[in-house]
Amino acid sequence: MAYTFGRASLRDVSDLVRLRIGYLTDDFGALDPDQEEALWSELPAYFELHLDYDLLAFVARDDEGTIVACAWLLLVIKPPSPRFPHGQTGTLFNVYTMPEHRRKGLARRVMECLLGAAYELDLDVVELNATDDGYRLYRSLGFEDDSSTHVPMRMMLKDE
């Protein structure tokens, strides 16, 4: 099978939603039907607002044009600091390949496309939270463990 690689567009929203739900299912386990329904309902509007504005989605398509792998880059402008002197940062997330297309180098290829765009955009840094499954890939692409002394924390403001 031959694959093609590139950026997703608004015509790909349903595939992006499908791959987001696939990623979340792999990460969290089976989703509660109400959660999944909410995702199908909310994600299209998110993509309408953010895709090609502050979210870039890089994808692999199979012979039929179906998206089978993706990696997303959220562009975030922060106040400059020693770690990002121009404030231009990216957050990498949702690196996902459909199970039947895994182990063919698709995640690496979409990541290479994403990182090429990050260089073209002159980003200072691309950050991510690696899963165990993705860690070796990210290391092989040049990502390093973050040596920050800060401890990641969060506060949930709404019930799940």
β-bridge mates for residue 125, sequence order: 89
pLDDT surpassing 80 at residue 149: no
Give the H or E element holding residue 135: helix 132-140
Task: Name the pTM for this structure.
Answer: 0.90
pLDDT surpassing 90 at residue 158: no
Residues 61, 6: Cα–Cα separation, whole Å: 8
| pLDDT score, position 141 | 95
CA distances from 146 to 3, 91, 127 (A): 33, 14, 9
Name the superfamily (CATH) of residues 4-140: Gcn5-related N-acetyltransferase (GNAT) (3.40.630.30)
Sequence ranges of the domains in the chain: 4-140
Q: What is the mean pLDDT of residues 80-106?
A: 95
3-state secondary structure of 29: coil
pLDDT surpassing 70 at residue 160: no
